[in-house]
Amino acid sequence: MRRLLSLLILILAAVAVGASPGAETELAFRVIVHPEVEGTLVAREVLSSIFLGDEDRWADGRPVAPVDQSLRSPVRAAFSERVLGEPLDGVQALWARRISQGLQPPMVRASDEDVITYVAKTEGAVGYVSSDIALPPTVRILSILY
């Protein structure tokens, strides 16, 4: 029932902004969060700000802990293009500049399983995994509002 309600909310939100209701299902990844992170939707711009180091707190004021996949991961390439609006080399160049300014990029984990483990154990964590991987009840899916 909860999944059906989340899907209905996503469809209504997508229709409200003129997006295709099926767009979310076409993604090669799913965004997951620690179960204590509030909400079921996140704007693409907010998610991008989190992963690019411009936002370090959730809307409720709690710290956010983003986690990326390996640079060799096709899931990371898809996430970078779709959410960050940049190819991987563009994101790397941006982080090279930010690191020189003292900022730290998101933690990196090698696989979907490693991302799931990190997100499940870390308050405020957000990551992304392959769309076809089975998810345990220790993480929640966060839908992206484009």
Percent of residues, the chain, with pLDDT higher than 70: 82
Instruction: Give the contacts of 9 (CB within 8 A, at least 6 positions apart).
Output: 40, 41, 143
- 105 has a pLDDT exceeding 80: yes
pLDDT in tens, 43-94: 999 999 999 999 999 999 999 999 999 999 999 999 999 999 999 999 999 9
pLDDT range class, residue 27, cuts 50, 70, 90: confident
- Alpha carbons 136 and 34: distance in angstroms, whole number: 11
Residue 3 lies in a domain: no
- Alpha carbons 67 and 65: distance in angstroms, whole number: 7
Split into its structural domains, the chain has a count of 1
Tokens 């099926």 belong to 22
Residue 74 lies in a domain: yes
Residue 136 lies in a domain: yes
CATH number reported for the structural domain that contains residue 93 in this entry: 3.40.190.10
Q: Which residue has the higher pLDDT, 57 or 9?
A: 57
- Provide the whole-model pTM: 0.82
Is the CB of residue 16 less than 8 Å from the CB of residue 117? no
pLDDT attached to residue 26 = 60
What are the backbone angles phi and psi of residue 91, rounded to the nearest 5°? -65, -40
Residue 41 lies in a domain: yes
Residue 6 lies in a domain: no
DSSP string computed for 59-77: TTSPBPEEEEEPTT-HHHH
The whole domain housing 36 covers 26-145
Residue 1 lies in a domain: no
Residue 9 lies in a domain: no
Instruction: Give the contacts of 105 (CB within 8 A, at least 6 positions apart).
Output: 53, 68, 95, 98, 99
Q: What is the dihedral of CA 70, 74, 90, 140, to 10 degrees?
A: -70
- 101 has a pLDDT exceeding 50: yes
Residue 33 lies in a domain: yes
pLDDT attached to residue 8 = 33
